[in-house]
Amino acid sequence: MHLFKHQVFNVSGQTTGRCVQRVNPPQFSSCQASSIDAPETDAFKELVRLAVQKDPSLATLAEQHLAQAGINPAAKSAMLGPSLAQLPTSKKPPWLRQRAPQGQKYEEIFGQMRELKLATVCEEAQCPNIGECWNGGLATATIMLLGDTCTRGCRFCAVNTARTPPPADEDEPYNTAKAVASWNVGYVVLTSVDRDDMPDGGSDHFARTVKNLKELKPGILVECLTPDFKGDLEAVRHLARSGLDVYAHNVETVDRLQRRVRDPRAGYMQTLEVLKAAKECGVYTKSSIMLGLGETDEEIIDTMLDLKSVGVDIFTLGQYLQPTPNHLDVVEYITPEKFEHWRKYGEEVVGFRYVASGPMVRSSYKAGEFFIHAMIKNDKGAVQSEH
């Protein structure tokens, strides 16, 4: 039934599960002294732990990086948790094996991270997609705003949860923008946990980050992968009009599985309404689902058609992986051939302008490469030629 007939870092300077920005005060004068003096190793360990909680497929590469950092085996075990082989229904098929990151652009950005003394989930936890996202004609980066503690408890996600997380860092929108503007990246994804404790859900925090970034580096393309802001469509419109290029909000799964997979405060209709409101503001829109949760082919098609009906331009599909034994089981590992089928179906039959589909695809996967070349630049060029 068609209801409308659809690896992360933080530069705030706080240390509770977030990256520590260890720079000299003249570079980022608004940082708190306590963050500069905080123990770097503790923040690094917590960062890796959070990354592996969110995506257990990072565990092997994360363990290698921890070994290089000289962290003892007992500490590594506590941070990384059980291996994929120990998790229920987690015997990975061969197509889920990771490849080591490499490439000239990767090496350049790696060097910039070291110069700025910034840690990223992409790099520190060795995300398997990092070589592809950081290489090519346009490098991309992903930033997590508003802390590491979510006010919701979706059953597919192992992020920390609390009714009242620590307050947002008011300096974060400027600090984030200043850091990103100094890097050689052409596309950045801003994302966050849900912050139902904030009156606008964090919408203005996102918007200020976008505005600061566009002022400091006008040519950069900005995608915001957002919460639903409790269904507050004015908050959605406020962010959509902030100057961002792509408004992303994930439907996560098919309609039937929503209450089983997502927090009850989220919902299929609410996601469609958020995406519709954003699209009406004139931005590109994007959404994503996880496969392997028990959805049927017919339900995937219905989801695609519903998202297309509210104007979604970009659609991504990836494999669900169980983060801990307490989370939802993987019902099925989808083959690369089936993912390719959905890519073609989404583009050729449903009519999305772009579909990224594969076992290791994540919401921000290679965002810049296809958007800058296939859509935004071409569209802007067409508009200019008309005038």
Q: Which residues are annotated as a binding site?
A: 122, 127, 133, 150, 154, 157, 364
Annotated binding-site residues for [4Fe-4S] cluster read: 122, 127, 133, 150, 154, 157, 364
Q: What is the CA radius of gyration of the chain?
A: 20
| Residues whose CB falls within 8 Å of the CB of residue 385, separated by 6 or more in sequence, listed in order | none
Q: How many CA atoms lie within 13 A of 31 on its CB side?
A: 26
Which of helix, strand or coil describes residue 124? helix
Paired sense of beta strands 284-291 and 140-145, if any: unpaired
Beta bridge partners of 9: 143
Q: Are 220 and 213 in contact (CB under 8 A)?
A: yes
Nearest partner of 291 among 112, 96, 53, judged by Cα: 96
**Pair of tokens at residue 283:** 């931005």
Q: Within the chain, where are the H helices?
A: 33-36, 40-54, 59-68, 73-80, 104-116, 121-124, 130-133, 172-181, 203-216, 233-240, 258-261, 268-279, 297-309, 336-344, 367-371, 377-386
Task: Report how far residue 76's alpha carbon sits from residue 65's, in angstroms, rounded to the nearest whole number.
Answer: 10
Beta bridge partners of 247: 224, 285
Q: Are 203 and 236 in contact (CB under 8 A)?
A: yes
Nearest partner of 13 among 111, 183, 147, judged by Cα: 147
Task: Report how far residue 77's alpha carbon sits from residue 62's, in angstroms, rounded to the nearest whole number.
Answer: 11
**Pair of tokens at residue 324:** 């801990």
